[in-house]
Amino acid sequence: MSTGCPVTCAAGEQVCHVPATCDTCSGYSYCSSYSCPVYCSNDEVMCHDATTMTDSCHPKSAGCPITCSTGEHVCTTPPSCETCDGYNWCSSHPCPVYCAAHEVMCHDPMTMTDSCHNKTAGCPVTCPAGDHVCHSPPPCENCDGYNWCSSYACPVYCAADEVMLPAAQSHVQQVNRCAMFQRRAILAVATATARPTAAPSIAAVTK
C-alpha cells in the first residue's frame, strides 16, 4: 500500500491526501484552496459528530464512538465478518453479549451467564471428578471445536489440517498421533507407495 506521490502546493493552498482504498491501491495527494475533506482508509469507518458537525476516521473493528446519557451503558457489537464494522449504542439495560466472527457464544447454566470463546477452542466444560475433558478440533475452517466429558480415555481427533498416524507399537500401549503435513507431501507419499516396483531386466537376470 502506497501513500502516493508528494505534491507542492501554492501559498495559501491546502495539501490534501486521499489514502489507499485497497491493499494493492495507492493513495494520492492534491492541492486545494478549501479545507481538505476527511478521507478514511479501507480499514477505517467515517464517523460524524452531530454536536461539532465534524467527521473523523476510526478503526472499522471498533466502530464509531458514542456518548451515552448518565446511567446508560455503552454497548458494542463486534464485526460479524472480516471486513464488517463494529457498532456501538446506548442502552438503559446491561449490555447483552455479542461474540466476534472468530468466537462462539457459550452459556454457563450454573451462573446463567454467556461468554465468548475462540471457535477453535470451543466452549469450556467442567467434568466430574475422575472424568476426562476431551476435545474435538474443528473439522473445517469455519467450524467450532467441541469439548465433552468422558469416563474413558479421550480418543484422538485430528484437525482439518492434520493426518492421523498409525498407532505406535509399544509393549505398554498403542497411541495414535496427529501430525501436520502439507497436502502435496501427503500426495507424494501416497504416489510413492502406490507406484509398482519395476521388474528386473532379462540382462540383469542372466548375469
Residues 132-153: tens digit of each pLDDT: 999 999 988 889 999 999 999 9
- Confidence grade of residue 31 (pLDDT, cut at 50, 70, 90): very high
56's CB contacts (< 8 A; 6+ apart) are 38, 46, 47, 49
175 pLDDT exceeds 90? no
Flag whether the pTM goes above 0.95: no
Residue 1: what pLDDT? 54
**What percentage of residues in the chain have a pLDDT greater than 90?**
59
For residue 106, how far is the Cα from the chain centroid?
18
Average pLDDT rounded to a whole number, residues 88-99: 94
Residue-wise pLDDT for 13-24, tens only, equals 999 999 988 888
User: What is the CB neighbour count within 10 angstroms for residue 136?
Assistant: 17
State the pLDDT at residue 83: 85
Residue boundaries of the structural domains of the chain: 162-196
Please state, in angstroms and rounded to a whole number, the distance separating the CA atoms of residues 56 and 53.
Answer: 10
Task: At 120, list the grid cell.
Answer: 477453535
Element (DSSP H or E) covering residue 74: strand 73-77
Query: Where in 6-71 does DSSP place strands (E)?
Result: 14-18, 28-32, 44-49, 54-59
